[in-house]
Amino acid sequence: MICFNLLADDFNDYLLALTIYNRFFHPLHEVPGPFMCAISWLPWYRYWFSGHMHLEVLKLHEKYGPVVRLGPSEVSFIDAAAWNNIYSLKRCRQIERCPKSFPALTPHGAKFDLLTYNPSDHARYRRILNPSFSEKAIREYEPAIHRNTDRMISRLFESVLDEGPNLNITRWLQWLTFDMVADVVWGEPFDCITEGHSHPCLALSMDLVSLSSFIVFVAWWIALKDFLIKLSGVERMFIEMVRSKCEANLNSESKKKGVFWNLAKSGGPLNINELDGNLSALVIAGSETTGFVCTSACFYLASHPASFRKVATEVRSAFSSEKEINDDRLKKLPYLRAVLEETLRMTPAEPNGLARRVVAEGIDIGGRYIPRGTAIYVSQFAANRSSTHFHLPQEFHPERWLNDPSFHNDKLEAVQPFIMGVNACIGRGLAWMEMRLIMAKMLWNFDWTIDSSEGKAFERAKAWHVWMKNPLQITLLSRHNLPDPIVDSTEECG
């Protein structure tokens, strides 16, 4: 009993000493932030577990400024200069990817994809995959994007006729982008749209994202983390499905062109683990993000009829028939671009920031000394909605991207939805083409509205590494049977 009391006293003394050190003597002690965040990780875990960390971090930055200490060794930035200070090529030897944002879902923490922690492996993967995402390659993927989008439009018409105009657009766009990424990678879709239900691989990809979001709680306990990953079996099952698609492509008499075909043709520069890892990463990243951005665009346009009217008129007057729609011409439509830019500002694909860890002895970020071992990042949601960066930051205004004088002081450079530098999203060109074509064909064929209660639920969506895909019920009406356009530019909701 005496020994127990002595141990308890020693432990309490240790906690007190650690608290005093973290708050008053730690190299980060001068970084603004809540007292509890400086001395303990408990607030961080509470924010993260709630699914509303992006909202909490925004509140903290509004209170404390552009730099906030979120944990004893974690700092969030939102100023535009921080993008270059943290993610640029010149920093790649001083700062590495942090397992908190890129948890390994393989035993012993090994990673075999573009999210690897090893800079030399990352550079090699990008060098191998870059040809598959060049401007020339992306143009070759355009027929697949058209084909899958047209299939969805046709099925939406059928759904409206058979089941009525109210439908969950989140589900349809998720199916579409999942079919698209499979078509780009293997030359054939998963047939989610055709079959009208999710492919097992889609469910597994969502499980993988959820697993990676919550594995951060035990990332420090390697044995437990590996046990939970093995117990779930999600990563193994997803890899098996990816391999089955590769084998089917190789065994097909008519080899279907795509990313995998390009890699196979180049002589197999990736080993089996690297091929599994990179194709899995492409499938998950390529479907999760684009679908949600298009869902968000549908929401914001339905909530803002004046913006709907402008972009619908722009798209519908640019072509004499749907067959004329192509990406080269869509690139020239400024308001469509502005709608997508503003959607990416309001709901960035990765709202909580992609953490980096300082591996140098210490570096200077924006005039502040950041010691070795500190996790640092730009919190995208907080940066994009900061009142120091934007006029009316919580409101949807595509005009801010079109030199509107009302927004002349906006710091647009603070918005970097695809990150920047050596770690920029390899598929950003493809993502832009997909978003333009999906939204243009939706606007060509339909008008849509939402109930105000739907909007409130959508804006309170939870987010971890990516957003939770809450259902968005819209009322979809074929514009070909109605006056064009049906929305009243004098109305504005949300």
**pLDDT tens-place string over residues 35-85:** 999 999 999 999 999 999 999 999 999 999 999 999 999 999 999 999 999
For the ranges 9-13, 212-216, 343-347, the maximum mean pLDDT occurs at: 343-347
Residue 489 confidence (pLDDT): 36
**Burial annotation 39-69 (CB, 10 A radius, 16+ → b, else e):** bbeebbeebbeebbbbbbbbebbbebebbbb
- Asked if residue 425 belongs to a known ligand binding site, the reply is yes
Residue 23 confidence (pLDDT): 87
Q: Report whether pLDDT(236) > 90.
A: no
Looking at residues 210-214, what average pLDDT do you find? 72
State the Cα torsion 167-169-175-179 to the nearest 10°.
Answer: 120
Rounded alpha-carbon distances, angstroms, from residue 129 to 96, 250, 372: 21, 19, 32
Strand partners, 375: 74, 357
Looking at residues 380-403, what average pLDDT do you find? 98
Q: Report whether pLDDT(13) > 80.
A: no
Q: How far, in Å, CA of 416 to CA of 397, rounded?
A: 17
Q: How far, in Å, CA of 422 to CA of 253, rounded?
A: 38
- Strands lying side by side in the sheet with 95-97: 67-71, 74-77, 375-378, 356-358, 95-97
Q: Three-state DSSP class for 79?
A: coil
Q: What is the DSSP letter of 467?
A: B
Q: How far, in Å, CA of 334 to CA of 44, rounded?
A: 40
Q: How far, in Å, CA of 314 to CA of 112, rounded?
A: 44
Say how many CA atoms lie within 13 Å of 227 toward its Cβ: 6
pLDDT-derived band of residue 4, with 50, 70 and 90 as boundaries? low
Rounded alpha-carbon distances, angstroms, from residue 86 to 27, 100, 136, 364, 492: 18, 16, 31, 10, 39
pLDDT-derived band of residue 105, with 50, 70 and 90 as boundaries? low
Q: Are 399 and 407 in contact (CB under 8 A)?
A: yes
Q: Are 185 and 258 in contact (CB under 8 A)?
A: yes
Q: Report whether pLDDT(453) > 80.
A: no
Say how many CA atoms lie within 13 Å of 160 toward its Cβ: 19
Q: Report whether pLDDT(264) > 50.
A: yes
How close are the terminal C-alpha atoms of the chain, in Å?
Answer: 63
pLDDT-derived band of residue 102, with 50, 70 and 90 as boundaries? low
The answer regarding whether domain 73-481 maps to CATH 1.10.630.10 reads: yes
The pLDDT > 70 percentage for the chain reads: 87
**Mean pLDDT, the chain, whole residue set:** 86
333 vs 123 pLDDT, higher one: 333
Looking at residues 120-131, what average pLDDT do you find? 88
Q: Report whether pLDDT(353) > 70.
A: yes
Looking at residues 255-272, what average pLDDT do you find? 79
Element (DSSP H or E) covering residue 71: strand 67-71
- Strands lying side by side in the sheet with 166-168: 166-168, 473-478, 446-449
Rounded alpha-carbon distances, angstroms, from residue 393 to 29, 38, 303, 346, 386: 30, 28, 16, 8, 6
pLDDT, one tens digit per residue, over 140-165 is: 999 999 999 999 999 999 999 999 99
Q: How far, in Å, CA of 128 to CA of 112, rounded?
A: 13
Q: Three-state DSSP class for 94?
A: coil
pLDDT-derived band of residue 110, with 50, 70 and 90 as boundaries? low
Burial class (CB in 10 A: 0-12, 13-18, 19+), 278: buried
Looking at residues 391-396, what average pLDDT do you find? 98
Listed in order, strand segments (DSSP E) in 368-489 are: 368-371, 375-378, 446-449, 473-478
Q: How far, in Å, CA of 120 to CA of 202, rounded?
A: 31
Q: Report whether pLDDT(493) > 50.
A: no
Residue type, 482: L
pLDDT-derived band of residue 389, with 50, 70 and 90 as boundaries? very high
Domain ranges of the chain: 73-481
Q: CA 139, 141, 284, 256 torsion: positive or negative?
A: negative
Q: Report whether pLDDT(463) > 80.
A: yes
pLDDT-derived band of residue 376, with 50, 70 and 90 as boundaries? very high
